[in-house]
Amino acid sequence: MKKHKPTDEEMKKMIADLAAHPQSTENEDHSHMHHDMDSMHHDEMGDMPNMHHDMADMGGMNHEHMNMGDMDMAGMDMDHDMMNHGGHMMHMGNMKRKLIVSVILTIPLLLLSPMMGLNMPFTLHDIPAQQWIVLALGSVIFFYGGTPFFSGAKGELQARKPAMMMLITLGITVAYCYSVYATVMNAMAPHAMVMDFFWELATLVDIMLLGHLVEMNAVTRAGSAVSSLAQLIPKQAHMVHSDGSTMDMPVSQLHVGDHVLVKATESIPADGLVVSGQTTVDEAMLTGEATQVIKQTKNTVLGGSINGSGVIEVEITSIGTDSFIARVQKLVETAQSHQSKSETLANKVAGWLFYAATGIGIAAMLVWTLVNGFAYALPIAVTVFIIACPHALGLAVPLVTARFTAIAAQNGLLIQNREPLEQIDDIKYALMDKTGTLTEGNFKVRSVKSVTTEYSDADILAIMATLESGSTHPLAQGILNAAKAQHVALMASSELENIPGTGITGVLNNDRFAIVAVDYLTSHKIAYDQNYFNKLAAAGNSVSYLVTMDKVVGIVAQGDEIKATAVKFIRDLQAQNITPVMLTGDNEQTAKRVADVLGITEVQAHLKPADKAELVKEYQQKGHVMMIGDGVNDSPALAQADLGIAIGSGTDVAIDAADVVLIKSDPADVTSLIKLAKATNRKMKQNLWWGAGYNVIAIPLAAGILIPLGFRLDPMVGAILMSLSTVIVAINAMRLKL
């Protein structure tokens, strides 16, 4: 089941609605940031919180968490065990049950019924009422096991698009009716020896049920991207009353304007504005970023994000269907609900085969009835229909799919939706998120430098780590991690204080130090090495300065790391004529630096969280698009793309929205995926030829085209040819390898 796009009007409305919500920290008031930088270089801080790392990882919703305020989830509920065939919905549980019952009944039927008209060593003889027992078993298999196909055929007939379901129904109906006729004729005239097709009927039903069950298993996760988001919302909230007291109450009972208290490490229950307190918030599950964002008075917070060590009071601004999560969820659900209207190649072949078998079979019946009578013509027509029975055709795709899925899993590729991979040869663009996909997603100290003889580099790191010891700011965590890694001991400090819009200050050994950004140096006319700063900033670093007595004494630069396999991955894509496009919320300078290292020529920077899905649509106007990402902000784009690939280390939401998950979080695995998918497509096409191509010769022969020359293809030979094609298809599928 391929995920296809909403209409332009639907998507524009959703994107506009989504963009209207203040969801990016880039739009927040960062005047309190103790690492605030000037407007030019603050954008160069790798993928700092002010950068939108798109908003996307939508996952399936946990139904025990469906109470998201007044949000009505009923309309968004999806039965992941359902599959549409010809307009008829088949339940996977029912399909399994029918398969089990049919297989159980097939075992005694095979023991009691000749195989393709031949008595095998295991065939039982002289059983009382043997032929009637076989008739009874075959009747149950036909009417019970064949129900999904009858219903599917009805849908295809109503749609006037005969495909696999009608072909299967044609095959099993002809096999059953002729077998009933054969049973009655043999009972009335024991020496007539009219061959029945109960063996073919039972195996066809079993194989088709198995094939469709395999197919259904391959696509059931396609709708799961609308279920995980509600897990981010807590069940209870600490509501603050007008007198300052708090009371726990269900989140579903909150309203816009209510105030809630969010304690350390708790999930924020709803979108809102901070009215008191200061903290840092982990928005990774929503924005895909590994870093935390400082929040203070008048800053927006998103429901589902995780509070840090501070305590804040939040005034709720949106709840339920108006919330950030609900709108992102709706965006992904809409993109995924627009299933492909195009027929699969197997269904197209089945449709052609249905018309060919029906037309030629009826024509043969009429011609040979006129020539030699009905009794002579009936076996000829039946042979045509039996040869067209899609044993092999029904297995052509499912067998390859099962083999493909197994090989993919062994190579760290989790296939959640196979159908988009059938178009892998058509992919022209690979849009990919930067942070977490091409880069590691964690800020690390790249350089610590003392610019005075009074302090060593280790001293600078120790002082800065001491000042940052009480902070959960992402840059502070980078410094603390570096100090820990280098076994740098913290010092005694006092009077630690955040200076809004400036940085952090404190007293160590009776000297006052401050960690500031370059704009502080400029505004206070403190001298610093401009060229050295430009060099660090151009490399994509966030640069902080240690100052004492209005003098710079140290510099620290932090940045993200490009993944080791990213360069080769980009080259492999380009070698296959796929154009890589990097998407990022970074400024163009930082984005270009990463792109230059990777050899990417097309870069889309300064993106807002809702922009990626729209960009996917734009590129789809020029060709098929593959999207690679790892965050909630990536999931609408993953769902919108012709092929969505999630990095395994990303959020559950993005993983559920994708067609393929890279378990090892290595973008280079995309190369293996492309090679395997192309090999799989070749096998599928080969199997379709084996499964149906022989009919080009066999059906005319069965219709009696060579009877005037003395050659007649009887039903038994037709059944043998049909079974032989099934064996060939199975062997060919097993030969698939990476």
Report the sign of the C-alpha dihedral through residues 463, 465, 466, 468, in that order: positive
CA 140-145-146 angle, 5° bins: 105
One-letter amino acid at 192 equals A
Task: Give me 435's structure tokens.
Answer: 């942070």
Rounded CA-CA distance 193/138 in Å is 19
Report the run of H or E that residue 216 belongs to, with start and end: helix 198-219
User: Rounded to an integer, what distance in angstroms lies between the CA atom of residue 205 and that of residue 102?
Assistant: 8
Residue (of 285, 183, 290) closest to 234 by Cα position:
285
Query: Is beta strand 300-301 parallel, antiparallel or unpaired with respect to 624-629?
Result: unpaired
Reading the block at residue 108, the tokens are 């005694």
CA distance 537 to 46: 9
Short-list 45, 53, 2, CA closest to 24: 53
Where b means 16+ CB within 10 Å and e means fewer, 312-324 reads bbbbbbbbbbbbb
Distance CA 93, CA 116 (A): 32
Catalytic residue among 196, 271, 282, 433: 433
- Per DSSP, the residues of 103-114 read HHHHHHHHHHS-
CA distances from 674 to 257, 404, 639, 643, 654 (A): 51, 12, 19, 11, 20
Class of residue 107 by CB neighbours under 10 A (exposed 0-12, middle 13-18, buried 19+): exposed
- Going by the DSSP 8-state scheme, the letter that residue 692 receives in this structure is I
* Half-sphere CA count of 710, side-chain side, radius 13 A: 0
Q: How many residues does the chain have?
A: 738
**What is the C-alpha to C-alpha distance for residues 306 and 684, in angstroms, rounded to an integer?**
46
> Buried (b) or exposed (e) across 601-635, using 16+ Cβ within 10 A?
eebbbebbbbbbbbbbbebbeeebbbbbbbbbbbb
Alpha helices in 1-159, H assignment, sequence order: 8-20, 92-112, 130-140, 147-158
Would you give the DSSP letter of residue 60? B
72 is catalytic: no
Beta partners for residue 557, in sequence order: 447, 543
| 506 close to 494: Cβ distance less than 8 angstroms | yes
Identify any residues that bridge with 508 across adjacent strands, giving them in sequence order: 511
Phi first, then psi: give them for residue 555, nearest 5 degrees: -135, 140
Helix-strand-coil split of the chain, %, nearest 5: 50, 20, 35
Q: For residues 342-360, b (16+ Cβ closer than 10 Å) or e, as one string?
A: eebebbebbbebbebbbeb
3-state SS class at 633: strand
**543-566 residues labelled b (16+ CB within 10 A) or e (exposed):** bbbbbbeeebbbbbbbbbebbebb
Instruction: Give just the sign of the alpha carbon dihedral 661, 666, 667, 672.
Output: negative
**Token digits of residue 416:** 């959640």
For the beta carbon of residue 410, count every other beta carbon within 10 angstroms: 9
Could you give the residue numbers annotated as active site?
433
